[in-house]
Chain A
Amino acid sequence: MNQATPAPFTQAPVTPEARLSLASAAWVVARRDFLAVLFSRAFLFFLLGPLFPVIVGALAGGISGQVQREATSSEIALALDEADSAAMLEARATLRPHLGWMLPHLMPLPQATDAGFDARAFLEQKRGNYAAIVQGTLAQPKLIGTRGQVERWQGTISLIAATAAGTSPSTFPPMQTELVATSASAERGNRIRTAQAAQMLLFLLTMLLAGMVLSNLVEEKANKIIEILAAAIPMDAVFLGKLVAMLGVSFVGIAVWGGVGMALWGLAGDAIVQRTGFDPAALPAPAVGWSWFLALGVLYFAMAYLLLGSLFLTIGAMAATVREVQTLSMPVTMMQLMVFFIAAYTITQPGTPLEMLAIAFPLSSPFAMMARAAMQEALWPHALALVWQTLAVLLIVRGGSKLFRTRVMKSGSAGRGKARRRWFGRVQPG
């Protein structure tokens, strides 16, 4: 504190602009938080986080797929004489263009020529990896296997045997086909798939990302910054700034994950579809069209995030430690799961009071409206819903900040101790 060359402290005049607007104040907080999180090492780990379950999932999927393939073998052994076996193989080749994957692989069993070959014992001794064994003749085939395998293959083997014996049609009439784009039933069913996928994605992203807000204010209190913020700007602005910052961070995360996903899709889209059996490109178009649907998806994610985030922020503001935050957030997480399930259930209940309730209740509203965008063409309900959800965010923020000011900003250790006793039923050690 060298006083050698003091600079005069000039004074600011009292003017109507003597304070920051709510938006400007929130922006100051949002900018600081956004940059602080973005350039932290923790954020890198946060970005990499979702890759671990994907990698583990892919590995586990590959292994389990292999196991599954081996476990559900569709290879059937032929314990027939040589001519009958050849006829069976030829019949299978004949039927293959018409029945394709429905046919089992057939494999003549060398051990069947041994004297005293016992098919039942062969299977029970778990030799080979056959689903069942065919014995007998083409006219009187006998299928030996477990109940499940027998029930699964008896019709098919019978057809192959009949074809081999020449007792089934050897020619098939040419089938003409005509495809229709959709039907009422198909469209509704298909859009339900889109609605479910969108809701699930929205829910996963919200739950994954909104948690970041939880510890935000705890950190602020631990750093003792909170009083500087509370003295300079309204707590509403602090809450809003933090929410917007974390939303921005979430969008960065989604952009990175989305970019990585798109790159992977470009490189190995077909393989991914084959492996997972899920083709996003094959999802039916939503009722409002893809452009609107994506735009609404972004908006509803923002709303779901802000709604849940503002609740989490309020909880974080009340708690003194991360442990307390986790304890308090559990009921909210459970409630969020419940409202998600209700919103998911209402996909098939359009226009019912339950759907209206899901739309009206702020926390389920984004999910219910996302599904509605997939199912119904009207856009104006979305404008109404977004206004309502924005209002709800502001109300929760206002309530949270008021609670914070009245219950948390207390002086001295006595006040803080009492605050904790009120929330947790007993005094927490300092």
Chain B
Amino acid sequence: MDLALGDPSKAGNPAAARPLAIEARGLVKRFDGTLAVDGVDIAVEEGAIYGVLGPNGAGKTTTLRMLLGIIDPDQGVRRVFGHDRPHEIARLIGYLPEERGLYPAMKAIEAIAFMGALRGLPLADGRRRGLELLEQHDLGHAAQRQIRQLSKGMAQTVQLLGTLVHHPRLVVLDEPFSGLDAINQGKLERMIRRLAQEGTTVIFSTHVIHHAERLCESVAIIAGGKVPYAGSVEAARDRIPAQVRLETHAREGAWLAALPADTRHEGDYFMFSLPDGGAEPLLRQLIGGNAGILSLSIERAGLHDAFVHIAGEAAARALAEDSAAEASR
């Protein structure tokens, strides 16, 4: 396998016009002989919102950790802003790990400033910027409170602000929606969009398809340590032909022969994949055959369908179980 990374603007995604913030080829990681990540390829354009979608245990966190240089891959190469060693450009990266953590005795403002200092931001600047961010997020009153005195949601917000305080060009969020209530999930989605609008690259992992579908231009679907699909959300959805839902007045007739072979009858509806030739020839045949069309809708496949199609039923079931477990928490 040729693992050399080429010109970022030409690599991976054929639609890529922007340079790549992250490019990884053939990442492999074993833990005690168990393959955790098996040949992951990822290409993330600068300024994009990129989702790593998969059930728990699929290898999302390990992949992100390899991309950030927290652990080294056993095989493969990764580049962040063209650098082989992500620690070399730590100031450009913000990272929110899956397992949230802050020093309980630290004040909120100090926690943010400390996280900025780890990324090279002077403490005084970190405190000033931290206070601005806290106030923007209605947490100015909590600036001088110890982390242990904050609610879980507030502490998570503080950590997220600490991830952003040093103005990173790349923000990596591992399961950022986990543990947040619906209101804060919405706020976080808006924040991610705003970051991307301002040119920041955002990559996040999730096991909730809706977040990825609403936010991401591109996704990597990961299951069992492999990435069966990495590319735009649109292209993923296009992997499944659009579904046609047809309701007719007539139940019998020659027009039935015009329906594709995969047609199934569900209640009053005929369901089938949109033929390669498109809807127009089919419509002509149905009208000519006196089908008596009451309604006809063409529904494009969602990311969930694409996930099932790409990753398989088992991975989809695991994903659904994780989502349900998350929702019940």
Residues of A within 8 A of B (CB): 1-12, 14, 17-20, 24-25, 28, 32, 36, 40, 223-234, 405-406, 409-412, 414-415, 418-419, 422
**A2 B138 Cβ-Cβ under 8 A:** yes
**A224 B100 Cβ-Cβ under 8 A:** yes
B312 to chain A, nearest CB (A): 20
**A232 B31 Cβ-Cβ under 8 A:** no
Q: Which chain B residues lie closer than 8 Å to A9 at the CB level?
A: 164, 167, 194-195, 198, 200
Q: Which chain B residues lie closer than 8 Å to A28 at the CB level?
A: 114, 117-118
Q: How many residue pairs bridge A and B at CB < 8 Å?
A: 148
**What mask results when residues 158 to 184 of chain B are scored 1 for a CB within 8 Å of chain A, else 0?**
000000101111000000000000001
A40 to B105, CA, bound (A): 9
Some 12 contacts from A to B, beta carbons below 8 A apart, are A1-B137, A1-B187, A6-B136, A12-B167, A28-B114, A36-B105, A224-B100, A233-B90, A409-B65, A410-B31, A410-B36, A418-B34
Q: Which chain B residues lie closer than 8 Å to A228 at the CB level?
A: 95, 97, 101, 115, 118
**Which B residue sits closest to A25, measured CB to CB?**
B118
Q: Which chain A residues lie closer than 8 Å to B56 at the CB level?
A: 412
Query: What count of chain B residues pass the 8 Å CB interface test?
Result: 61
**B70 A405 Cβ-Cβ under 8 A:** yes
Knowing A19-B87, A19-B90, A418-B32, the reply to whether A5 touches B136 (Cβ < 8 A) is: yes
Complex partner residue of A11 from B68, B101, B199, CB under 8 angstroms = B199
B323 on the A face (CB < 8 A): no
**A229 B198 Cβ-Cβ under 8 A:** no
Please give me the 9 A-B residue pairs with the lowest Cβ-Cβ distance, nearest first: A224-B101, A1-B187, A232-B118, A411-B61, A227-B97, A18-B89, A231-B95, A224-B99, A411-B62
**B31 A418 Cβ-Cβ under 8 A:** yes
**B117 A3 Cβ-Cβ under 8 A:** no
A94 to B277, CA, bound (A): 135
A151 to chain B, nearest CB (A): 66
Q: Which chain A residues lie closer than 8 Å to B65 at the CB level?
A: 231, 409, 411
**B178-223 residues at the A interface, CB under 8 angstroms:** 184, 187-188, 190-191, 194-195, 198-200
Q: Which chain B residues lie closer than 8 Å to A414 at the CB level?
A: 31, 34, 57
A411 to B205, CA, bound (A): 13
**B77-92 residues at the A interface, CB under 8 angstroms:** 81-82, 87-92
**A1 B71 Cβ-Cβ under 8 A:** no
A232 to B34, CA, bound (A): 27
**A233 B87 Cβ-Cβ under 8 A:** yes
Q: Which chain B residues lie closer than 8 Å to A6 at the CB level?
A: 136, 194
Q: Which chain B residues lie closer than 8 Å to A405 at the CB level?
A: 70-72
Q: Which chain A residues lie closer than 8 Å to B164 at the CB level?
A: 9
B327 to chain A, nearest CB (A): 20
- The winner among A224, A231, A232 for most chain B CB atoms within 10 A is A231
**Which B residue sits closest to A233, measured CB to CB?**
B118
B157 on the A face (CB < 8 A): yes
**B36 A415 Cβ-Cβ under 8 A:** yes
Q: Which chain B residues lie closer than 8 Å to A14 at the CB level?
A: 81-82, 89, 92, 169
Q: Which chain B residues lie closer than 8 Å to A3 at the CB level?
A: 187, 190-191, 194
- Known: A2-B138, A14-B81, A232-B115; 14 extra A-B contacts, CB below 8 A, are A1-B138, A1-B184, A7-B132, A10-B198, A12-B169, A14-B82, A18-B88, A18-B91, A224-B99, A225-B101, A225-B102, A231-B90, A233-B118, A411-B61
**B115 A19 Cβ-Cβ under 8 A:** no
**B103 A223 Cβ-Cβ under 8 A:** yes
A415 to B106, CA, bound (A): 30
